[in-house]
Copies of this chain bind each other. A is one copy, B any other.
Amino acid sequence: MAEPARHPIPENLDPALEMLVREIIERVADKWTMLAIEVLDEHGRLRFTQVGELIGGISQKMLTKTLRQMESDGLVLRTIHPVIPPRVEYELTDMGRSLGAAFCGVWIWAEEHRDRIEAARKAFRERSLP
């Protein structure tokens, strides 16, 4: 049980490094960020409105915030075309794509364990009742 061999999650002995990694995880694990990565990964370069439509159910405010944050983190490239009406396009950077790939495992896991999670929830509910 205390076997450190081939450990799934890397251990960070340096507390400062650990904190930084946690911060990145928090940032990147954001709901809308993940969905934005998904649609940009699937559809390539997209306009602001298109990203929102493909994500679905996201307010304009959150879309702006999410894309700005992703741009700030170097996950997306934002291209402004100086025309009227304005045309702004977003596309994943290499780093953004690599994050999408890293998340792929989680996505697949979610699909594969959907049924078992539902079953566990149901069992838990029944277990909790009188």
Contact = CB atoms under 8 A, between A and B. Distances in A.
B34 A29 contact: yes
A10 B119 CA distance: 23
Nearest to A106: B102
Interface string A26-54: 10111100110110011111000000000
A42 B3 CA distance: 9
Copies of this chain present in the complex amount to: 2
Contacts of A45: 1
A5 interface: no
A99 interface: yes
A59 interface: no
Contact of A7 (B42, B99, B110, B111): B42
Contacts of A35: 22
